[in-house]
Chain A
Amino acid sequence: MNTLKVENVSYSYMNASGEQQVLRDVNAEFEAGKIYAIVGESGSGKTTFLSLVSALDRLQDGDIKYNGKSLRKIGGSEFRLKYVNIVFQSYNLIKYMTAKENVEIAIDFDGRKVDANKYLKQVGLSEEEGNRLIGKLSGGQQQRVAIARAIASNSPIIVADEPTGNLDEETEEMIIDLFKELAHKEKKIVIIVTHSKQVASHADKVLKLRKGRLN
């Protein structure tokens, strides 16, 4: 079974008031086929944890291993390309491209030839909406494009930061079902950072981050 292990990860940074310890000796294990919800107050280190797990940031102490292979050895960009995909809170879509082109970019990175419309349809976007430039879509639609892009890439790990923050209840349900399907049927590791109790209630396991420690 595919597993993502976080081993003794600590992270700090310097600011005007000195060294700030964000994560302290964090240990966790994420298994394929499950949805994990990371919850915690603002400033608890959720985003930093997400950045490290998705290899957006460099590890300081400790290690992250996928199926026993260290992230340090795999390399950040390779890890992001092959193992993980991220759904950002602020969507992070490329504005001069259409919804479909944003999804296609993610597909193209791993060299597959799949119709992007399939993924857009999965998140409830029509073909016509898929051909619109990002700026012509609502916040909720953009969020769905970001999710479609994440699921379109063939990565075994999906990390989502408040993925349903801008969605109405009905779409939120649909997206949660989609994440469940990805985890349970396609056997991906789904890690969701959220404030929403509703989203957390659908997770197979909820992890709390408090003062840099994961419980």
Chain B
Amino acid sequence: MFRNMLKRSFLSIKRKLSRTIILTLIFFMMANLVLAAITIKTAVGAQMDYAKSTLGGTVTIQADMDAIREAQKEEIENGSDRKEMFKNMMRPAITVETANKIAEYSDYVKDYSYELSTSANSADLEIVESESGSEMPGGPNGLGDRMRGSSSSSSKLDSDITISGINAYAYIAGVQNETITIKDGTYFDEDSNDKAMISYEFAELNSLKVGDKFKIKNVYTGKAVELEVIGIYDSSEERANANAIYMNIETAAKFLSDSDYNDGEYDVSNVNYYMINSDKAEEFVEKINTDFAELAENNMKIAVDTSEYDAMSSSIESVGSFATTILIIVIVAAIIIITLIVTINVKDRRYEMGVLLSLGAHKSNIIGQIAAELLIVGTFGFVLASVSGTFLAKAMGQSILESQTASSAQQSERNFGRPGTQTRGGSSDMPTPPEGAGMGGSNMKQRMLANSNKDVKLDINATPIDFVLLFATGYLVIVLALILPSINVLRYQPKEILAGKE
């Protein structure tokens, strides 16, 4: 019986070529789209996992400006002298020791960075002027710095050069967003004491080469340090500060006054912890809040920033949702189309089925024949689609991703141009802490997010599991598409069919 059924199926497929070709094409098209959608979804899943591990999010410890403002307000209300209050006000900070202790939570922290920045000048050095004719803004982010110190009373010091000490070269904002490249020499590391990287413009203006030495003086503390040029960098950033000098944290700490240096327990800013997994960021914050309660008491705020992961994941998730939508639409459409074709086919072959029933074939055997025909033709279509589907998936996935990232990037660019996004809550009288988790402020951050979005790529390649899913989905579609036609077959009575013919 089974052999007979298969024989009939093969004969029907072979002899009814036009129907076979139409069905094969339908299965082929369906399978292409299904494989494309499945492959894209797999790639999205893999990319999301990768993004979680590589863009694990950042936890930033910074001054809580709202809390500071609240404290200021209270003092003014209590009759304090506004000028005197601002003069003596200490910006809350975290010590390098605490920052290092927090970095020891290895379950959460993949890496970390902090900065020590200040302003310096030198009577012997020329300063690079901006295109508009003014000197470049002070501070690494054009904002303020950590070394103003309690002894300083002047807010208009002649600060031309920006000293930026950072614990790792890789965490300089310009290096992270790939706008800074080494033109000559090399980058600094933790052992590069008294060595610094200067900009190409600054080097040209002052005829400095790698290996040359120059002396600069902290405008606040008056401490002068002689530095050796270890590398000359070039920045493609339009508004880059060409007077910024980068060095390791130990070298930057030499510009501190003895009291600020505090036997090596000096304050650092822009403290960022790069998470192993963005999902654990909140848990990490909880842990810091518990173990270092003094931070909150000291008006320090712990903020979670998963925007880079979110920006990337939103584009990828959109592609994943799009793929899911395609998958659902294709499956539903395929079930409907194949049901219609098989129903029409069963009606067309009513007479043949009457003959088979008159020969003693069971109805299940006849349904089996239709199923076998669909499975054989379907398998052929799926195999063909296994070859072409991967290419379609690549083209489709990348195209969807490009449109998604383009719209995300446009959104980021729009946000970048929006007033009020460059600084948050800054007061003209108050030193404003840098924003943007050490990436160089929110402008930089927005640009980085836009750039990181543009760089999102999906590695779309069908895996063996994708092929298994394709065949499983295809066969499921066939089974579902067979339900209605099978009911028709079950209702057939040979006499009614053949009597009509007689």
Chain A interface residues toward B at CB < 8 A: 47, 51, 54, 56-57, 77-82, 85-86, 88-90, 92-97, 101, 104-106, 108-109, 111, 133, 149, 153, 161
Partner among A56, A85, A95, A133 whose Cβ is within 8 Å of the Cβ of B498: A56
Q: Is the CB of B4 within 8 A of A77?
A: no
Q: Which of B218-226, B299-307, B352-360, B468-476 contacts A (4 or more CB under 8 A)?
A: B352-360
**What is the 8 Å Cβ interface bit string for chain B, positions 486-502, against chain A (1 contact, 0 not)?**
00000001110011011
Residue of chain B at shortest CB distance from A75? B362
| Contact of B76 with A by CB under 8 A | no
Interface hub of B3, B352, B357, B495 (most chain A Cβ within 10 A): B495
Q: Is the CB of B360 within 8 A of A101?
A: no
In the complex, how many angstroms separate the beta carbon of B432 from the nearest chain A beta carbon? 84
Partner among B11, B355, B358 whose Cβ is within 8 Å of the Cβ of A101: B11
Q: Is the CB of A78 within 8 A of B499?
A: no
Q: Is the CB of B495 within 8 A of A89?
A: no
In the complex, how many angstroms separate the beta carbon of B423 from the nearest chain A beta carbon? 80
C-alpha spacing A82/B361, complex, angstroms: 11
Q: Is the CB of B360 within 8 A of A51?
A: no
Partner among B1, B7, B8, B354 whose Cβ is within 8 Å of the Cβ of A92: B354
Interface size on B, residues (CB 8 A): 28
Residue of chain B at shortest CB distance from A51? B495
In the complex, how many angstroms separate the beta carbon of A198 from the nearest chain B beta carbon? 22
Q: Is the CB of B494 within 8 A of A106?
A: no
Which chain B residues border A111 with CB–CB below 8 Å? 1
Which chain A residues border B356 with CB–CB below 8 Å? 94, 105
Residue of chain B at shortest CB distance from A78? B360
Q: Which B residues from 9 to 42 make CB contacts under 8 A with A?
A: 11-12, 15-16
**What is the 8 Å Cβ interface bit string for chain B, positions 411-445, against chain A (1 contact, 0 not)?**
00000000000000000000000000000000000
In the complex, how many angstroms separate the beta carbon of A95 from the nearest chain B beta carbon? 8
Which chain B residues border A51 with CB–CB below 8 Å? 495, 499
Q: Is the CB of B498 within 8 A of A109?
A: no
Which chain B residues border A95 with CB–CB below 8 Å? 352
Q: Is the CB of B360 within 8 A of A96?
A: no
Which chain B residues border A105 with CB–CB below 8 Å? 4, 7-8, 356, 359
A88-B502 contact given A57-B495, A94-B352, CB 8 Å threshold = yes
List 29 A-B residue pairs with CB atoms under 8 Å apart, sorted by A's residue number.
A51-B499, A56-B358, A56-B495, A77-B357, A77-B363, A78-B360, A80-B358, A80-B360, A81-B359, A81-B360, A82-B360, A86-B358, A88-B501, A92-B358, A92-B501, A94-B356, A96-B12, A96-B16, A101-B11, A104-B7, A105-B4, A105-B8, A105-B356, A108-B4, A109-B4, A109-B361, A111-B1, A133-B15, A153-B359
